[in-house]
Amino acid sequence: MSSQERVIIFDTTLRDGEQSPGASMNTGEKLRLAIQLEKLGVDVLEAGFPAASAGDLEAVSNIAGKLQRTEVAGLARTSKEDIDQAWQAVQHAAKPRIHTFIATSDIHLKYKLKMSREAVIDKAIEAVKYAKTLTDNIEFSAEDGSRSDRDYLCKVFEAAIAAGATTVNLPDTVGYAVPEEFGDLVKYIMAHTPNIGKAVFSVHCHNDLGLATANTLTAVQAGARQAEVTINGIGERAGNTSLEEVVMAMHTRRNFIPTSTNIRTEYIHPTSRLVSMITGIIVQPNKAIVGANAFAHEAGIHQDGVLKNPMTYEIMKPETIGLSANRLVLGKHSGRHALREHLKEMDYDLSDEELNVVFKRFKDLADRKKHVVDEDLEVIITEGILRTAEVFQLEYLHVTCGTTVLPMASVQLSINGRTVRGAGYGNGPVDSAFNTIAKLTGTQSELLRFTVGALTGGTDAQGEVTVRLRENGLVALGKGADPDIITASAKAYINGLNRLEYLKTNPAREAVAV
Ligand code: KIV
Ligand code: ZN
């Protein structure tokens, strides 16, 4: 392998990542995340699956119209209709890509597609040739590739490249491969596909056995030059390969994996936070690179070593991924100008009207909390700007509780712009708030999970609540933050209800299962 060859980072947080149970994002949230991913330096961004729903098509189209440097890909099955919709969504991107796929394993052919191997090759050729009439930038994926017959895979890839594919992708769709086997498969395909040199070889791994990062890195060592990843490793079931793990492994172990990426690592941590905030999916504390404990040293002997020289126990510097102890904090005396400048540094270029909304929320928070840090501002932007078009909004909450009173909540909501108010009882303050909100919204969701944490350190930190709700088979996550934990709970619940509303009007991807 020549030294420092570049690996293309293909981010699919907005497509495969959004397939995480309950992780739907609205159009504004997707656009914000896409802008952040471009800043992070991803080479290709898979913005969605336009044929899945009108909402997906619209979101992909918005993103395509916004990004300048990053390629924008739209996913499509091998049908003309899917490819047309993907093209409709990405065509006005500065760098559009069509990503078409069909399964190649015998089990998928027999039970899902009910097609012969020859028919699948013909379909792949037909799809790539059709896509080629629209763009030169075509990726072809052999779904369930890792469980497909090796020689058949080589034939499929050879045919796809001959038809015009510029990237061929080998997915480990069900997370079944183990590193040595997967690396061997990559080498085999590269050695036995005559025209493989005309395309970029890509891999796409799932994490069902916790091996997605290892499989991806082994594939890179075997010659793959595109890695498909998501932020925080979110995605179907156990998720996808995590961007931060692959990128930081390459960065930290350059001597062993002599490859580089275009990722600006200092944006890894802020991007991870944004994804968690927007999707409601909590990052496990011991998650490599971005978990809350990833740079925390508990054992005395470790702490002592780190104080003497951080490299005794730290293989990466926290600053490299954008974790800095010297964060700029704002307080109640900070003015509009300071706030605008700081938000610009965080890459939020707000209109005057948006700044007014954020400034008011910032002042309210600064009255209750001495130091307002980046995490707080992100919550303000997410709740105040990105979620404004939502059906249900909390306008007022008052809760009485204690040892001698029956917990009671008075709530005022705006429902599609109409104000409603009411009161109700419950077992405790959260229960009474949720019961009242459910009554006012006429919803009947079941609360599957309720988690409370703190957004930052310190006793005045904002409480951060995540809920998981189910209604009529639809599952959604909701997230809310506030210095008052009951208000944070109500916000999270309302956010979850809004996501359920979104799912009701945007049929889930399962309806067009891949
Ligand atoms: O996991 C998979 O096979 C996929 C393909 C659509 C690339 O996500
Ligand atoms: Zn996948």
Predicted confidence (pLDDT) per residue in 243-297, tens digit: 999 999 999 999 999 999 999 999 999 999 899 988 888 898 899 999 988 887 6
Q: How many Å apart are CA 464 and CA 283, to the nearest integer?
A: 13
For residue 143, report the distance from its CA to the centre of ligand 1, in Å: 6
Cite the residue boundaries of each domain of the chain with CATH code 3.30.160.270: 392-505
Q: Is the CB of 173 under 6 A from ligand 1?
A: yes
For residue 172, report the distance from its CA to the centre of ligand 2, in Å: 8
Q: Give me the helix-helix angle, 54-66 and 27-40, nearest 10°.
A: 40
For residue 498, report the distance from its CA to the centre of ligand 1, in Å: 28
Is 3.40.50.300 the CATH number for 3-279?
no
For residue 471, report the distance from its CA to the centre of ligand 1, in Å: 28
Predicted confidence (pLDDT) per residue in 243-253, tens digit: 999 999 999 99
Q: Which ligand 1 atom is the nearest neighbour of the CA of 16?
A: 8
Predicted confidence (pLDDT) per residue in 73-128, tens digit: 999 999 999 999 999 999 999 999 999 999 999 999 999 999 999 999 999 999 99
Q: Is the CB of 101 under 6 A from ligand 1?
A: yes
The mean pLDDT value of the chain amounts to 92
Q: How many Å apart are CA 493 and CA 449, to the nearest integer?
A: 11
Q: Is the CB of 16 under 6 A from ligand 1?
A: yes
Contact in structure between 161 and 125 (CB atoms under 8 Å): no
Of 162-171, 345-354, 396-405, the one with minimum mean pLDDT is 345-354
Collapsing DSSP states into helix, strand and coil, what is residue 9?
strand
Q: Is the CB of 480 under 6 A from ligand 1?
A: no
Cite the residue boundaries of each domain of the chain with CATH code 3.20.20.70: 3-279
Contact in structure between 91 and 122 (CB atoms under 8 Å): no
Q: Is the CB of 143 under 6 A from ligand 1?
A: yes
Kindly report the CATH class assigned to 392-505. Answer: alpha beta
Place 325 in a pLDDT band, splitting at 50, 70 and 90.
low
